[in-house]
Homo-oligomer: A and B are copies of this chain.
Amino acid sequence: MASIQFSKPAQSLQASVIVDLMNQALAQPDVLSLAAGFTDNSILPRSLVRQMSTALTQVGLPNEPLQYGQNQGRLGLRELSCRQLQQFPNESPQAFIAEQLFLSNGSQQALYLAMQTLCDPGSIVLVQDPTYFVFLELLQGLGIHAEAMPCDVCGQIDFEALTLRLQAMAETGQLACIRAVYLVSYYANPSSHSMDLAEKKQLARTLQSAGVQVPIIEDAAYRDLYFEQAHAAPSIFSLSEWAAFPKLYLGTYTKPFATGLKVGFAHCSSPEWLQKMLITKGHHDFGSAHFNQALVESMLLAGAYASHLQTARQQYAAKAARLSDTLEAGGLKELGWDWQAPEGGLILWLRAPANMDLRMQSPFCARCIEEGVLYVPGDLCFAHSTPWNCARLAFGALSIEALSEAAERFCRVAHTFAP
């Protein structure tokens, strides 16, 4: 067969590390995965989906759910999503408006559209250090460079170091290539850090002082999945420090409601940017599956989301606690490992002693696969691929019992590698 001339970005595409990891795992039958960010099968909203599907397949409904919908998404769900967002603590009245919001195939698609409309190959996007590793892969696929905003070990931005880095970028001319800033601001994947009010405000001031008034993308995928109470800091849409910045807020029903439905959304402060993302979305798919939007909309209308979330929060809180407790009981802290107990989300972020190597190709990682436990090597979450001593553990999918077992396996390996 004739050889194919691929596009420039496609020539250097690399397969996702998660795919490699999964393939390795498949060779090993009883492996327990703390790697993939799946959610808990036991709390998927089966009866809600059944009930809503039955209602939505009646004859003669307005805005027929099994027909195409609008490219921007169902107005009803866009309005209800804004109402949901307004209920979070400390949001300004009217921070979220249905006209500025569009529905997407999970929030991931909206993130992709944001990058397509803002960045060319060679553009720079500022990210937290660590950041969501799939976003780093997405950037690489588009030929966009990620530049780290220095953070402390807990994932909080180090503003002195950031200022110095921005100054250095100004000197090399790189500053002008920054097209966007990407923040994971609630129970971040992977650090599980939430940005508080002071950090959010300080970031706006630091960027503005440096002359970096580019679009800000706030990825709040896990915001609904708090354990005890909603994080107090409002979104960047409600903070006057961010008023002059173009803003995009990403939310989703995928993680908190049903991963199999893939309904996410994005709220944009700039009509021009929104329009460009919508046109590009039209080229991708003319709008996400309308039936799925209608399912989520009718679930919200029925007032069923709060109690679903209550169940989910309890479950994930219990899982986070079990994972953390088992790692602690396994003596990991005595070996010099450290972590913050998550307050929400689906991720626990582990830091081994500084000299340890947990990368994919490391003896430690190989030993974990042999022992039957998978994790995401933390270096993959850093824009500059260092440090090497971190691990992302996802606790969404495994049962409580399996989490104990996985953590025990992990601790056994850690003891083997103790100095």
For the residues of A in contact with B, the DSSP-based class is loop
A416 adjacent to chain B (CB < 8 Å): no
Q: How far is the CA of A120 from the CA of B143 in the complex (A)?
A: 13
Contacting residues of chain A (1-33) with chain B, CB-CB under 8 angstroms: 1-2, 4-10, 13-16, 19
- Are B46 and A141 in touch, CB under 8 angstroms? no
Contacting residues of chain A (87-114) with chain B, CB-CB under 8 angstroms: 105-106, 108-109, 112
A162 adjacent to chain B (CB < 8 Å): no
A116 adjacent to chain B (CB < 8 Å): yes
CB distance from A247 to the nearest CB of B (A): 9
Q: Find chain B residues with CB under 8 A from A123 CB.
A: 7
A34 adjacent to chain B (CB < 8 Å): no
Q: Find chain B residues with CB under 8 A from A47 CB.
A: 57
- Are B38 and A117 in touch, CB under 8 angstroms? no
Q: Find chain B residues with CB under 8 A from A64 CB.
A: 41, 44, 260
Q: How far is the CA of A146 from the CA of B97 in the complex (A)?
A: 38
- Are A13 and B291 in touch, CB under 8 angstroms? no
Closest B residue to A258 by beta carbon equals B66
A163 adjacent to chain B (CB < 8 Å): no
A45 adjacent to chain B (CB < 8 Å): yes
Q: How far is the CA of A360 from the CA of B375 in the complex (A)?
A: 56
* A141-B283, A279-B15 given; A2·B214 CB < 8 A: yes
Q: How far is the CA of A10 from the CA of B289 in the complex (A)?
A: 24
* A46-B57, A260-B65, A279-B15 given; A286·B108 CB < 8 A: yes
A276 adjacent to chain B (CB < 8 Å): yes
Contacts A/B (CB < 8 Å), 24 sampled: A1-B244, A1-B270, A2-B245, A5-B179, A5-B214, A10-B118, A13-B276, A38-B67, A38-B68, A39-B67, A41-B67, A44-B66, A46-B58, A49-B291, A66-B260, A66-B261, A67-B260, A134-B283, A141-B279, A261-B291, A262-B289, A284-B284, A289-B289, A291-B292
